[in-house]
Amino acid sequence: MSAVTVLAILVVIVRAKPVIPPEGTAANKAFSPADFPAVFAKEEGLIGAAGAGAAPPGAGAVLFPVPAPPFSEGVFPCMECHGSIPANGERRVLEAMHGDIVLHHDEEHRWCLDCHDAEDRDHLRLASGALVPFTESYRLCGQCHGTQYRDWRSGIHGKRTGYWQGSKRYLLCVHCHNPHSPRFASLQPLPPPVRPQFLRSEDALAAAASGGPGTDADTKENGDAGPAH
Amino acid sequence: MPDPRTDAITCGDTEDDAKVDPVTLSRRDFLTAVGMAAAGFLAGCSPEVREAYLQKHFLELSPPEVEARLGRLHADYAKRFGTQVQVSALPAQPGVVFGYALDLSRCIGCRRCVYACVKENNQSRNPQIQWIRVLEMEKKKGIDFEAANPYYNPEQVPDPEHFYLPVACQQCRTPQCTRVCPVGATWQEPDGIVVIDYDWCIGCRCCMSACPYGARHFNWGEPEVPAAELNPNMHVLGNRPRPRGVVEKCTFCIQRVRAGRYPACVEICPVGARKFGNLLDPESEIARILREKRVFVLKAELKTEPKFYYFYGI
Ligand code: SF4
Ligand code: SF4
């Protein structure tokens, strides 16, 4: 009796075959960087360098321009329109213009004119009333986010590229955080690594293509002919 | 009775000699014969092939010999990939020890770093080799390697229930991988990077079993890097194409960082979670992080003393 049970279990173990999930969904296909040209198109760190990789170690002279603030197409300078529109301090849903802006940034307490100067829309306005250009928007952000500002200035928060020993290119807060909705947007992850059993993926693909081990058909057939009957 | 084993390969020895020390003598003869044959074979070969067979350990090479080896590699890769590559042997700078820090409060598990690393370091596309592995862990459980999942694949990351912990070579100060290598094919450089000489590695994989972080990868098959995707900016101890049967791992992008640049994973990370620099420079980002943030290393109890730190930036 027990010998039969053991034998049955053994048969089940031996007969069990891996179920290969559909291609590419569960780590059975080897993806390569070439499959994601959009992700790897730009060599961000070297914009502005004299020829990619040409700078010698410690090349202090190579300057990396900070990218311009990420304005929507055609909105700057703001005063081209706002110069002739009287400022409206009323809290409201924007309809005539800027309909794409939905404020998700402490919207209970904040409104456009807390950061944008009512008289001079080409500048931002600090709590002190001082005006700062958009290229120095970090001073505005730093008023509330003091620890992030401190860390950003020493390179702990935020992203620096280029040379650890030499010129660095850094980004403004608004290059990563939409100031009107600053939570970092989610991304689609690049695919998982190939599971060890599929490492030689030609085998896995050939098996899947020929209806070999692990295809749906095969699994079903296994079930039908299996020791359970 | 004459020993059939010695009988078969002794030739020209007197029977008396064979009786005195049959095994030694016959082995000596055998080795001499093999040596002669090898010498004859090598004499007929090109200088490159001779160099490849009779090479010395990388650390014993004189500057001209290093040049010779680079020349051999240039010729070899030009032939294999049909394109010009630049293999450098730039040494460590004095006063520099590299360190790395990764902000776990920022990483969203997007795996951009994994593929940027594959591209920069000429890792085999198929069979797939990836030096960085991003582990998904449950916020509820904290860091738990047993329960970690490297195969996560949701539509979007980050998942609110999880956090992500990328792992590659931790560039240990007391690496166990180098201690166990029977031929000294892997060692720590003066700037702290643990490197492998792919020409010296015998593929025994002792280092892989000694590494507590699973950081080393073995070329079971012929590595495949399409010529069009080859990164031609190479270092002899780093991202140059590997042969089958050797071990490889992260070198902090030795070809980039010895030229002053940031590693490829630092450059690609969309959230700026990755920080790199000179531990000995008090003004560097990495030194500031060690001073100002609470950092930790993986498996600290093993006393491997990694130079790869994790921290929470928030
Ligand atoms: S690229 Fe950055 S955010 Fe994405 S997985 Fe790597 S470390 Fe995490
Ligand atoms: S992480 Fe592993 S491979 Fe890297 S130095 Fe430490 S023991 Fe060696």
When comparing pLDDT for A52 and A26, which is higher? A26
Specify whether the CB–CB gap between B304 and B176 falls below 8 A. yes
B220 forms beta bridges with none
Tokens, residue B238? 């780093």
Three-class SS of chain B: CCCHHHHHHCCCCCHHHHHHCHHHHHHHHHHHHHHHHHHHHHHCCCHHHHHHHHCCCHHHCCHHHHHHHHHHHHHHHHHHHCCCCEEECCCCCCCCCEEEEEECCCCCCCCHHHHHHHHHCCCCCCCCCCCCEEEEEECCCCCCHHHCECCCCCCCECCCCEEEEEECCCCCCCCHHHHHCCCCCEEECCCCCEEECCCCCCCCCHHHHHCCCCCCEECCCCCCCCHHHCCCEEECCCCCCCCCCCEECCCCCHHHHCCCECCHHHHHCCCCCEEEEECCCCCCHHHHHHHHCCEECCCHHHCCCCCEEEECCC
pLDDT, tens digit, 9 for 90 and up, residues B143-193: 999 999 999 999 999 999 999 999 999 999 999 999 999 999 999 999 999
Residues 6+ apart with CB under 8 A from B196: B185, B186, B237, B246, B247, B248, B249
pLDDT, tens digit, 9 for 90 and up, residues B96-140: 999 999 999 999 999 999 999 999 999 999 999 999 999 999 999
Pairwise CA distance, residues B200 & B243, whole Å = 11
pLDDT, tens digit, 9 for 90 and up, residues B76-90: 999 999 999 999 999
Q: How far is B19 from chain A (nearest CA, A)?
A: 54
Its pTM stands at: 0.81
Closest C-alpha among B34, B88, B25, B15 to residue B257: B88
CA-to-CA dists, residue B22 to A127, A168, B5, B6, B33, angstroms: 97, 71, 10, 6, 16
Query: How many angstroms separate the alpha carbon of residue A73 from the centre of ligand 1?
Result: 29
Search chain A and give the residue with CA nearest B110: A189
Specify whether the CB–CB gap between B222 and B244 falls below 8 A. yes
Among A33, A53, A186, the residue with its CB nearest the CB of B156 is A186
Q: Using a CB-CB distance cutoff of 8 angstroms, which residues of chain A are in contact with residue B112?
A: 39, 190
Specify whether the CB–CB gap between A79 and A121 falls below 8 A. yes
Could you say which residues from 172 to 191 on chain B have a Cβ atom under 8 Å away from some Cβ of chain A? Answer: none
Of the candidate ranges A94-98, A158-162, B45-49, B58-62, the one whose mean pLDDT is the lowest: B45-49
Cβ B304 under 6 angstroms from ligand 2: yes
Q: Using a CB-CB distance cutoff of 8 angstroms, which residues of chain A are in contact with residue B150?
A: 192-193
Interface contact B155, partner A, CB < 8 A: yes
Could you say which residues from 41 to 60 on chain A have a Cβ atom under 8 Å away from some Cβ of chain B? Answer: 43-45, 53, 55-59
Among B229, B269, B278, the residue with its CB nearest the CB of A159 is B269
Pairwise CA distance, residues A15 & A5, whole Å = 15
For tokens 């040596």, the residue is B35
- pLDDT above 70 covers what percent of chain B? 91
Could you say which residues from 190 to 219 on chain A have a Cβ atom under 8 Å away from some Cβ of chain B? Answer: 190-195, 199-202
Specify whether the CB–CB gap between A121 and A107 falls below 8 A. no
Q: What is the ipTM of this complex?
A: 0.83
Q: Identify the residues whose C-beta falls under 6 Å from ligand 1.
A: B 107-113, 134, 164, 166, 268-269, 271, 273-274
Cβ B309 under 6 angstroms from ligand 2: no
Most A-contacting residue of B114, B235, B261 (CB-CB within 10 A), to test interface: B261
Single-letter amino acid, residue A114:
D
Pairwise CA distance, residues B8 & B6, whole Å = 5
Specify whether the CB–CB gap between B154 and A192 falls below 8 A. no
Among A44, A162, A201, the residue with its CB nearest the CB of B126 is A201
CA-to-CA dists, residue B91 to B65, B237, B254, angstroms: 15, 10, 10
